[in-house]
Amino acid sequence: MTSSSGQTAAPSGTPQPPGPLRPLTARGRDEAHRVASPLELLFDLCFVVAVAQAGVQLVHAVAAGHAADGILNYAMAFFAIWWAWMNFTWFASAYDNDDALYRIVTLVQIVGVLVLAAGISRAFTEHDFLLVVLGYVIMRLAMAGQWLRAARSAPDAERTAALRYASGVLLCQVGWLGLVLLPEPARPWVFLVMALAELCVPPYAERRHETSWHPHHIAERYGLFTIIVLGETIAAATVAVKSAVDDHDALTELLPIAAGGLLIVFSAWWIYFVVPIHGHLRSRGRAFVWGYGHYLVFTSAAAIGAGLEVTVEQAVGTAHISALSASAAVTLPTALYLLTVWTLHARHYKVGPAQQLVLPVTALLVVCCTFLAHWAVLAAGLVSSAAVVTGVVLTARMAGRERGARAAGPAG
């Protein structure tokens, strides 16, 4: 909380002492005007660099006909990116005091994700996870340091939660070394076990004390990252189309892909932001499900961009896969995105069967578009846009009925 003088206020409203170092105490959960900071925006942009690298390698793997191996490596790399991002986001929502040490430790986490991004190509092509693990460990050690710092200034229950976070994070780093030390066939199992272990740390740490994250701030942070990932999808597809046109002069084949891709991204944005989700995040159980579920939202949104690149390469003959496989690279992540967004929050704000069924039916129709070969992306974009229009119409009709009922009430 920032006062008019620029000082950071504790939850009690008492200004904290000015200076480069301030106690890392919890912020108020009902704090007014809680918004993303410039440091958080820089943090997000740097993390999207790693997302872009994972997307590029996914494109290469799918276009070369190694979809299963590419998807597995993509899921593993994206988990490291997403989990480090998510842990920082929730911690910052509760403890961001914006002093010099907090900024420096956050910048160290940015260094970690850039190291991770530098190692993604080797992880995909040579199954060498050394740089990926090194970057991840850098980020997680910095996060553990933040939790230990928070524990110093916290009361008993809050200190216990902070120490549980720090110890859980540190213990998990030992297990992740298995991706480097164990033979290649064992690494997917190491990933599965360690991912589950990481996911268990927050529920364990907050079993008796819930950190004071801010619902509106969390909703904004997730929304901003969704926008950045969708923007990366547009950028990747644009570069792919430009390169294909320059090298192959295949504008006729590429225009439907470009148009359909834009319609998909625009619809994805609309569907995500049509509901005010912060009101749904008041309980810890809902917040955990919503926050964890965004792994699928982010991975599918980024995979749409990779799929569009694959479709472009297939259209100009540089990808060694069928038109059906290329179409599936777009339609399947699009359907997953629609279903996940509906499951996490859209369905909580829909009234009646008609509104509830719009997104599930749309996801099914998008999957069916896979079989339209070269027209699949455009068809998927049109179906997604139709879902947006249908939702707007149904909402407008319901609002009209409610207004009519209110107007008839006093007269009756």
Residue spans of the domains in the chain: they are 38-213, 216-406
Smallest Cα–Cα separation from 292: which of 220, 337, 344, 342?
344
Q: Which pair of structure tokens corresponds to residue 160?
A: 């216990």
**Where residue 267 falls among pLDDT bands split at 50, 70, 90?**
very high
| Nearest CA-CA partner of 311 in 349, 261, 347 | 261
- Looking at 1.10.287, 1.25.40, 2.30.320, 1.20.1410, the CATH number of the domain 216-406 comes to 1.20.1410
* pTM of the model as a whole: 0.88
pLDDT for res 70: 92
Which tokens hold the place of 301? 């949104």
Q: DSSP secondary-structure letter at 177? A: T
Using pLDDT thresholds of 50, 70 and 90, give the confidence band for residue 155: confident
Determine the length of the chain.
Answer: 412
In order of 86, 313, 336, 369, the CA distances from 378 in angstroms are 33, 16, 17, 9
pLDDT band (50, 70, 90) for residue 15:
very low
pLDDT digits over 335-387, tens only?
999 999 998 876 766 666 777 788 899 999 999 999 998 899 999 999 999 99
What contacts 283, CB < 8 A, 6 or more positions away?
A: none
Helix (H, G, I), strand (E, B) or coil at 265: helix
pLDDT value for 369: 95
Nearest to 112 by CA among 147, 148, 88: 88
| Enclosing H/E stretch for 300 | helix 284-315
Specify the residue for token string 């499951």: 343
Cα separation values, 288 from 202, 212, 317, Å: 9, 14, 44
Residue at token pair 């842990």:
87
Token representation of residue 365: 């129709």
User: What are the CA-CA distances from residue 90 to residues 40, 44, 216, 222, 352 (Å)?
Assistant: 11, 13, 12, 10, 33
Query: Which residue would you say has higher pLDDT here, 244 or 157?
Result: 157
Q: How many angstroms separate the CA atoms of 5 and 306, rounded?
A: 47
Question: What is the identity of the amino acid at 403?
Answer: R
With tokens 């996940």, the residue in question is 340
Contact at 8 Å (CB) between 303 and 58?
Answer: yes
Q: Give pLDDT, residue 4.
A: 33
First to last CA, the chain: 49
What's the gap between Cα 166 and its chain centre?
23
Higher local confidence (pLDDT), 8 or 378:
378
Indicate the average pLDDT of the chain: 86
CA-to-CA separations, 71 to 307, 331, 348, 382, in angstroms, rounded: 12, 15, 31, 26
- Label residue 12 by pLDDT band (50, 70, 90): very low
The tokens for 179 are 């991706």
> 355 Cβ partners below 8 Å, 6+ apart?
391, 394, 395, 398
What letter represents residue 70's amino acid?
A: G
pLDDT for res 234: 86
- Kindly tell me if the per-residue pLDDT of 251 is higher than 80: no
Burial class (CB in 10 A: 0-12, 13-18, 19+), 293: middle
- The per-residue pLDDT for 244 is 74
Is pLDDT at 1 greater than 50 in this prediction?
no
Q: How many helices (H) and strands (E) does the chain have?
A: 13, 0
